Amino acid sequence: MQKTFSVSELITVFVLAVIAIFVVPCLNSMVPQTSFFYISDFAINLWGKYLCYAILAMTVDLLWGYTGLLSLGQRLYFALGGYMMGMYLMRMIGSLGQYHMPIPDFLVFLGWTRLPTFWKPFDSFPFALLMMVLLPGFLSLVFGFLAFRSRIRGVYFSILTQALTYAACLLFFRNNILMGGNNGFTDFKFMLGHDTRTASTQRGLYIASAFFLLIVYLGFKWLTGTKLGKVQRAIRDSENRVLFSGYAAANFKLFIFVVAGVVAGLAGALYVPQVGIINPGEMATDQSLEAVVWVAVGGRGTLIGPIIGAVFVNVIKSWATRAYPDYWPIILGGMFLLVVLFLPGGLVGLFGHCVNLVKHSTKKPDLTAEINAEVEAEPAAPVAAAATATGTHNPSE
């Protein structure tokens, strides 16, 4: 049995977390703008967005890389979380909108004079927060229950997730559901009493995103290390065997699917005040596909891969959509093809491959010694395993 965290990994995570959560915001707020180390407000805002994408990518990977469920609809849960946050932010505009009415502008435009009943509770942030968790959680629970109970697997599952996303997208385009229609929600002004248009609020949102990413990373790390995590990967590798070992695989898939939905929803909720808009375009099918590309490029089946992939692809996207806007879809498709054909392990796999190459080229003379060590180590293996066992699992538990 392996320990959940190795020391070197803990140190790496700690260092990266300190940089993302403390150092970067300080370089934004405390360093003079002329300094080389200064990070602009624009960059902070951009990175806050990337980190939300990274969390979304982790949920895609939890499903695809760890459970073998390729969901092409994670962006739906992300957008739903975002919409719930958006409703709260719309209420916080108060009477400062274009029409100076106490209800959101688009409702005035549609001829409403009073606030629709279902909008009323969104004046309260705790209620909105609850809905950010409950709505994506409930939808993924219902959809997952129906899909997994009917034993929908593989490509059929993927197609269904995409169809659901498309249906939701079309629904949100309609004005008569009173969710802003085509234009969605925008023109946000206040969040929890802070002006969302100021640098300090944006910095706070960036820190919240970085902190949430850390929590999700540690949480997923723990989850995938438990026996449930082992069952999860067992389902990916041989679902029949799992069934025949007496596990109700559908329940495990459902649990993971709901966790992924809720986390994606919260990431979306953090994303919306940072980009300042949420509309149905956010749940368009190509958006969900992009999230799959991030995971493939970063390296699926690892926790760090989706983070790297989401940031890497989006940094390129930010540059390409300005420099060569017409070619971006081709660049994205090309990246995906390249990874599928030549880098099945993604960037993380490439890195591991390079490390191995370096190790081999430097260690060649010691090859026989290595083999000897391996042979010697074999009889001792149970002892070593027992030692780690007492280290990780207290027998008195």
Partner 1 sequence: MSAAAKPSILAAEGVNKTFDGFKAINDLNFSMDEGELRTVIGPNGAGKTTFLDLITGRTKPDVGTIRFGSEGVDLIRKSEYEIYRLGIGRKFQTPTVYTDHTVFENLLLSLEGSRGVFATLFSRVTPAQRDRIREILQTIGLSAKEDVKAGSLAHGQKQWLEIGMLLAQNARLLLVDEPAAGMTDEETAKTGELLLSLVGKHSIIVIEHDMVFVRQIATKVTVLHQGHVLCEGTVDQVQSDERVIEVYLGRSKKH
Binding residues (CB under 8 A) for partner 1: these are 1, 223, 226-228, 230-231, 233-234, 236-238, 240-249, 251-252, 255, 378-379, 381-382, 385-386, 389, 393, 395, 397
Task: Count the neighbouring beta carbons within 10 Å of the beta carbon of residue 347.
Answer: 19
**Closer residue to partner 1 (CB): 273 or 301:** 301
Q: In the bound complex, what is the minimum distance in angstroms from residue 227's beta carbon to partner 1? A: 4
Q: Is residue 62 a contact partner of residue 262, using CB atoms and an 8 Å limit?
A: no
Residue 77: alpha-carbon gap to chain centroid: 11
Q: In the bound complex, what is the minimum distance in angstroms from residue 231's beta carbon to partner 1? A: 6
Q: In the bound complex, what is the minimum distance in angstroms from residue 394's beta carbon to partner 1? A: 8
Q: Quick one: angle between helices 199-225 and 41-67, nearest 10? A: 20
Q: Which amino acid is at 269?
A: A
**Closer residue to partner 1 (CB): 20 or 62:** 62
First vs last C-alpha separation in the chain: 17
Q: Is residue 365 packed enough to be buried (19+ CB in 10 Å), middle (13-18) or exposed (0-12)?
A: exposed
* CA neighbor of 270 nearest in space, from 339, 343, 356, 210: 210
Q: In the bound complex, what is the minimum distance in angstroms from residue 348's beta carbon to partner 1? A: 16
* Residue 13 CA: distances (Å) to CA of 52, 337, 387: 18, 31, 26
**Closer residue to partner 1 (CB): 211 or 247:** 247
**Closer residue to partner 1 (CB): 126 or 395:** 395
* Residue 388 CA: distances (Å) to CA of 3, 191, 381, 384, 394: 8, 49, 11, 6, 11
Q: In the bound complex, what is the minimum distance in angstroms from residue 217's beta carbon to partner 1? A: 18
**Closer residue to partner 1 (CB): 164 or 295:** 295
Give the chain's radius of gyration (CA, Å): 24
Q: In the bound complex, what is the minimum distance in angstroms from residue 351's beta carbon to partner 1? A: 20
Residue 196: DSSP 8-state: T
Q: In the bound complex, what is the minimum distance in angstroms from residue 386's beta carbon to partner 1? A: 8
**Closer residue to partner 1 (CB): 255 or 351:** 255
**Closer residue to partner 1 (CB): 52 or 259:** 259
Q: Is residue 319 a contact partner of residue 105, using CB atoms and an 8 Å limit?
A: no
* CA neighbor of 272 nearest in space, from 6, 62, 87: 87
**Closer residue to partner 1 (CB): 163 or 389:** 389
Q: In the bound complex, what is the minimum distance in angstroms from residue 234's beta carbon to partner 1? A: 4
